[in-house]
Copies of this chain bind each other. A is one copy, B any other.
Amino acid sequence: MEFRKFDSDKDVTEFVLHNTELFEPDTQLTVSEIGDGNINFIYRVGQPGGDSVIVKQALPYVRIIGEGWPLSQDRVRIEAETLQYEGSHCPDLVPTVYHFDADLCAIVMEDIGQHENLRHALIARRRLPNLASDLGRFLADTLYHSSDLHLDSHAKKELVKSYINPDLCKITEELFFWDPYCDHERNSINPHLRPYAEQLWADDALKLEVYKLKRQFLCDAEALLHGDLHAGSVFASGSGTKVIDPEFAYVGPIGFDIGSILGNFLLNYAGQANLPGDLAERRDYQAWLLDSVETLWNTFAERFYIHMREKTQDPSFNNEIYRTWYLDKLFADTLGYAGTEMIRRTIGLAHVADIESIEDPQSRANSEKLALRIGCELIMARDQIIDVEALAQRIRRIS
């Protein structure tokens, strides 16, 4: 079957009914388009008031731009296979994939509609009790089991080959590691922040550290990353967490995934300094965010350490001195990539609502300055910050 965009609700419901056994064959299903839909088409398909599933179809180009910006449809295979891989280790933390069709570039997956987008939850200052430990577990389990610590050499190299994802990696390469470090036309900069952006563009020592992180992003095939783990890729409820949208997955440096999500907690931290609402409440929430950062890292590090000790077959990597060194290295990488996430979300193309929703441009610039200061400090001091408590102290001192 050749690629053909779903043209009607009937196409979508037939795709679901034909390829899954989730509904009786003659069930009447309704289809509604959801999601921001900048790149893909996403549909909710279900019985009114009853069960529903999500259908995602990838076009061979960026939807809102058109055929002038082609994008490999292999990304949907990568997304489906990554969800299946992640689901094999953390079934409760990702939507179940019911069907993937390579020709139609479409996935049928579990509807996680009862969960709230993490970015909205953070802006609303919700305290999600399991969030940080769920994310720490997700990171430890998915990253460990796809690394050379767990896989034999042949399996690891097959994994690298299977997840070569150049179109999507190129987007990250430019938006994270290039645009924000020069006066790029794609950047979006609050006029009140411009002097600080210009100062950053002149900071050669900072830029060298970013170039090193970029080199590592391009070359260091450590483990299968989610690749786009910002707050918008996480959905949470009072009791559970779901990580979605791994279409940027590739085999890269472990610290990139951990740093991306930690950076998002800290972007919200910077936003809380000037978001509307009671000051004491916002300060309390900032403290909760720093606690969450600590819990996330500690959960990750403890589980990753135990996996290394209990499962790693290669004795070069299963010994106390290597485990200790390696976790320290991953922490430094994490801080570096968290810093790049904070900077690119402040002066790059794609901002975050945690800060963007501060209406007054001067107040917004104050949160943006804080995000830049924390981001730069994480990058520059990533080898000196000895643990996650020292990290929290340092952030409190900056703000």
Whether A322 and B157, one on each chain, are in contact in the complex, defined by CB atoms closer than 8 angstroms, is no
Main secondary structure of the interface of A (DSSP, over half): helix
Q: In the complex, which residues of chain B have a beta carbon less than 8 angstroms from the beta carbon of A294?
A: none
Q: In the complex, which residues of chain B have a beta carbon less than 8 angstroms from the beta carbon of A166?
A: 153-154, 157-158
Write out, one digit per residue, whether chain A residues 362-399 have a CB within 8 A of any chain B CB (1) or not (0): 00000000000000000000000000000000000000
Bound CA–CA A319/B221 (angstroms): 25
Q: Decide yes or no whether A69 CB sits under 8 A from chain B.
A: no
Q: Which 4 pairs show the lowest CB-CB distances between chains A and B?
A: A154-B166, A157-B166, A211-B316, A208-B321
A216-257 interface with B by 8 A CB criterion: 218-222
| Copies assembled | 2
Bound CA–CA A325/B211 (angstroms): 10
Write out, one digit per residue, whether chain A residues 188-224 have a CB within 8 A of any chain B CB (1) or not (0): 0000000000000000100110111011001111100
Whether A317 and B211, one on each chain, are in contact in the complex, defined by CB atoms closer than 8 angstroms, is yes
Whether A219 and B153, one on each chain, are in contact in the complex, defined by CB atoms closer than 8 angstroms, is no
Q: Decide yes or no whether A354 CB sits under 8 A from chain B.
A: no
User: B-contacting residues of A (Cβ < 8 Å)?
Assistant: 148, 153-154, 156-158, 160-161, 164-167, 169-170, 173, 177-178, 181-182, 204, 207-208, 210-212, 214-215, 218-222, 314-317, 319, 321-322, 325-326
User: Given the known A-B contacts A204-B321, A220-B219, A221-B221, are A316 and B214 also in contact in the complex, defined by CB atoms under 8 Å?
Assistant: yes
Whether B153 and A169, one on each chain, are in contact in the complex, defined by CB atoms closer than 8 angstroms, is yes
User: Given the known A-B contacts A148-B218, A164-B160, A316-B177, are A212 and B325 also in contact in the complex, defined by CB atoms under 8 Å?
Assistant: yes
**17 new A-B pairs (CB below 8 Å) besides A160-B221, A219-B220?**
A148-B219, A153-B166, A154-B170, A156-B218, A157-B164, A160-B164, A161-B161, A178-B314, A181-B316, A207-B321, A208-B321, A208-B322, A211-B317, A212-B325, A214-B316, A215-B326, A219-B222
